[in-house]
Amino acid sequence: MQVDRLSMSERGRVVGAVLGSSLVLTACFLGIVALLEGQIGTLPGRLPYYVLGAAVVFTVAMFALEDPTDHGVPIVTTTAALSVLGFVLLTFAAEGIYYTIYHPGKVFTANLIVYFLAAGLICTALGYWALHHWREFL
């Protein structure tokens, strides 16, 4: 993508996508910290909502990817993979938000959030690159 050829509204969408993805990934990293520290004791009570979120991702992906001229197996496998990814991201991001709310001292005083935000930006860039070059790895 050549940024100099984008209109202002397209640039705004790109910046929004990068910021949104980076924030979600930052929350996911904090969720992993919460898991490693054993701070997810109330997770079973929230788990049904994460499963519901994965079901929403599955349904939206199925309707978005469905093409009567295409084979069904790739559509179903891609949809299943997206719903598993959605479940993992939703679970870790929500747990990261809970961790931040209930343990702000651990997140903000150690500059942990700055490191994770940097990692989120890097992962966003790598994800963008991987989406555009995945065929090279097959």
pLDDT reported for residue 12: 83
Using pLDDT thresholds of 50, 70 and 90, give the confidence band for residue 8.
Answer: confident
Nearest to 123 by CA among 99, 98, 89: 89
User: Averaged over 3-21, what is the pLDDT?
Assistant: 81
Residue-level pLDDT at 48 = 95
Tokens for 133, please give them.
């070059």
Give 34 or 14, the one with higher predicted confidence.
34
Asked if the model's pLDDT at residue 115 lies above 80, the reply is: yes
pLDDT at 138: 61
Q: So where are the chain's domains? A: 3-137
The pLDDT value given to residue 40: 82
pLDDT band at residue 133 under the 50/70/90 scheme: confident
Residue 53 phi, psi dihedral angles, 5° rounding: -60, -40
For residue 43, the model assigns a pLDDT of 86
Helix H, strand E, coil C: the string for the chain is CCHHHCCHHHHHHHHHHHHHHHHHHHHHHHHHHHHHCCCCCCHHHHHHHHHHHHHHHHHHHHHHHCCCCCCHHHHHHHHHHHHHHHHHHHHHHHHHHHHHHHCHHHHHCCCHHHHHHHHHHHHHHHHHHHHHHHHHHC
Q: Residue 3 pLDDT > 70, yes or no?
A: no
Q: How high is the pLDDT of residue 98?
A: 93
The 10s digit of each residue's pLDDT in 63-90 is: 998 888 888 888 899 899 999 999 999 9
